[in-house]
A and B are shown apart, each in its own frame.
Chain A
């Protein structure tokens, strides 16, 4: 005889407030340190910068309210437009790193003896510091002893002082920046290529696809995630292009290789700067430019999430 199943008539033990809300609170608790850091180091400084940009302040003494004075001055500042123009050139030309990286990756995506060594050699420029890249290229461009001008000399060309000529200087620095950036994109594509589905390639082969068509219609669509990341890191890389400029030209000659980030640094923190308000105003403009891109990025993320 089994004992009859008697329903438990005792009321459930009173659960604590914590137990009640644990499910809802736990995520926030885990997020708290991150949110705190993000607030303190990202969100609050954004508003502080916007605030400072309305003042004339040397970082030490009293700050004087100048309203939109800094922005009005920016609108009439040649150096600002030069920097803005250079930023655009950087953004456009830096994108070359993506196709270049793709082709290096395709080239290296084969199994021959010692391929790992070749891969590491191609990846090498990304590992070394930007400062070293800048120095190496500065020597490469050196008008009297640089390799580039020695080679140009063989063809009877006059030496070109790339870094001392306002016409070439930005392109010269971008070329230096493309070297490590290509390596970065290459590594992204190499990992992407590992994930390409061999069956699809097989199927495409059976349908007689090859060469460029195979690349465009079969491989590239499968590399979309890699391309997306490559675009993201390249845009960020272009906007942060600071160390190379600082090392190779220090913004010169006469400020013609500055970008907004460098100009902001110069105005706010360099030896002759300490115009915090003006620097902050440049930072705000740079932030707005980045916002366009960040908004686009978020929108794409949102759309992708919804698509699932």
Chain B
């Protein structure tokens, strides 16, 4: 009896071993695309890949969006998939440094991606090598209530003075100029990105991110003083520290606030809440310093091959598939975002078109986003400082000194 049980367990163990052992053509993909649109986009993407590569067995593990940020560290080291999605720029640096991502220069070479995905070469390169394939990005900018602007006779502002004047008019009409929810901090990072990009330009913004400039530098102060003008004029939603970005959508929907400095993903919930395209508009963040070329925030999402992947061959096939123009057209149509491949078609949604036009004409540089361009620790301290600054602008000196202290530690 005992003997029998033992053979049975061995048999079970053997069969599990067999099934988890990689037979030719099994491809494991881990993604964090748990929200409805990204989930549907990936379903279609994987189906399409399977149809063209019937010999490849695809296993897709869908992770919760927030939980993924911690689980990726575990699975990259312990039980590596063949592909995993992540983000471009500094966000992938820790994994590249730890040797957990595989360079994929050959995929780029063989498929001519340096031409078709040219715009993202910069954000995908670390130490002269390319570390993944980008498949989507989206613009940031100012989303606004067109109808409220029209009611109050406000033109779309293109420079700082017009912007401030527009805010004044809105305030007089009893409308909060800008809604924002800083409970989870990153929204404040977006505002800083834009004011800094417009005040000091892309190169300075990136140099600050690399730790080459002191946070107590006068140019940082100039950015903060511009920001302070808005804060002192009461531009931002009151009690914003109590709200998440979704909760801050409500005042805009109800017409109590008129603008939102946000990414294009805000459009979907705003439409769902009942705003029509006649009520909702988009404009590029206005010019502050006319001598500075306009740069934009456009975060890029990417897919990588972990260094410990078992089936790198098929993984590279998948990346080549993902980079193709028609595939990117399709996936971004579902996502409601912009394709990276310059031969892809952009959806005919008006916000996508506006974003596409803006980004195609951007000559000042494309940043990823505050928490992707700046190292994690610096980003966290920075965004916390911005939140505090937005409520207590008088503490600016203390905040900048604190950030400088963090900088000295982070980049040593």
Closest approach, in angstroms, between the C-beta of B400 and any C-beta of chain A? Answer: 14
The answer to whether B98 touches A61 (Cβ under 8 A) is yes
**In the complex the two chains form, what is the Cα distance from A164 to B392 in whole Å?**
12
Closest approach, in angstroms, between the C-beta of A160 and any C-beta of chain B? Answer: 9
Closest approach, in angstroms, between the C-beta of A171 and any C-beta of chain B? Answer: 15
The answer to whether B379 touches A269 (Cβ under 8 A) is no
Provided the pairs A58-B94, A272-B371 are in contact, do residues A252 and B185 lie with their beta carbons within 8 angstroms? yes
**In the complex the two chains form, what is the Cα distance from A255 to B391 in whole Å?**
13
The yes or no answer to A237 lying at the interface (CB within 8 A) is: no
| 8 Å CB contact of B242 from A58, A142, A272 | A142
The yes or no answer to B385 lying at the interface (CB within 8 A) is: yes
Q: Enumerate chain B residues within 8 angstroms of A61, measured Cβ to Cβ.
A: 94, 97-98
The yes or no answer to A60 lying at the interface (CB within 8 A) is: yes
Secondary structure of the B contact surface, majority rule? helix
Provided the pairs A60-B100, A250-B183 are in contact, do residues A164 and B94 lie with their beta carbons within 8 angstroms? no
Chain A residue with minimal CB distance to B380? A272
| 8 Å CB contact of B95 from A60, A144, A253, A269 | A60
Interface members, chain B 193-244 (any A CB < 8 Å): 238-242
**In the complex the two chains form, what is the Cα distance from A269 to B387 in whole Å?**
22
Provided the pairs A59-B73, A60-B94, A73-B409 are in contact, do residues A161 and B385 lie with their beta carbons within 8 angstroms? no
The yes or no answer to B376 lying at the interface (CB within 8 A) is: yes
The answer to whether B376 touches A253 (Cβ under 8 A) is no
The yes or no answer to A254 lying at the interface (CB within 8 A) is: yes
Q: Enumerate chain A residues within 8 angstroms of B182, measured Cβ to Cβ.
A: 252-253
The answer to whether A60 touches B70 (Cβ under 8 A) is no
**In the complex the two chains form, what is the Cα distance from A269 to B73 in whole Å?**
10
Q: Enumerate chain A residues within 8 angstroms of B94, measured Cβ to Cβ.
A: 58, 60-61, 274
Tier of interface size on chain B: 20 to 34
The yes or no answer to A207 lying at the interface (CB within 8 A) is: no
The yes or no answer to A8 lying at the interface (CB within 8 A) is: no
Provided the pairs A249-B183, A253-B387, A272-B379 are in contact, do residues A164 and B100 lie with their beta carbons within 8 angstroms? no
The yes or no answer to B111 lying at the interface (CB within 8 A) is: no
Q: Enumerate chain B residues within 8 angstroms of A58, measured Cβ to Cβ.
A: 94, 98
The answer to whether B239 touches A164 (Cβ under 8 A) is yes
Interface members, chain B 140-178 (any A CB < 8 Å): none
Closest approach, in angstroms, between the C-beta of B74 and any C-beta of chain A? Answer: 10
The answer to whether B98 touches A60 (Cβ under 8 A) is yes
Closest approach, in angstroms, between the C-beta of B328 and any C-beta of chain A? Answer: 27
Chain A residue with minimal CB distance to B237? A144
**In the complex the two chains form, what is the Cα distance from A253 to B98 in whole Å?**
33
Chain A residue with minimal CB distance to B239? A161
The answer to whether A164 touches B98 (Cβ under 8 A) is no
Closest approach, in angstroms, between the C-beta of B87 and any C-beta of chain A? Answer: 12
Chain B residue with minimal CB distance to A274? B376
The yes or no answer to A78 lying at the interface (CB within 8 A) is: yes
User: A interface vs B, CB < 8 Å?
Assistant: 58-61, 73, 78, 141-144, 159, 161, 163-164, 249-250, 252-255, 266, 269, 271-275
Known: A58-B98, A254-B385, A274-B94. 19 other contacts (CB 8 A): A60-B73, A60-B95, A61-B94, A73-B409, A141-B242, A143-B242, A144-B239, A161-B242, A163-B242, A164-B240, A164-B241, A250-B185, A252-B182, A252-B384, A253-B182, A253-B241, A253-B391, A272-B380, A274-B376
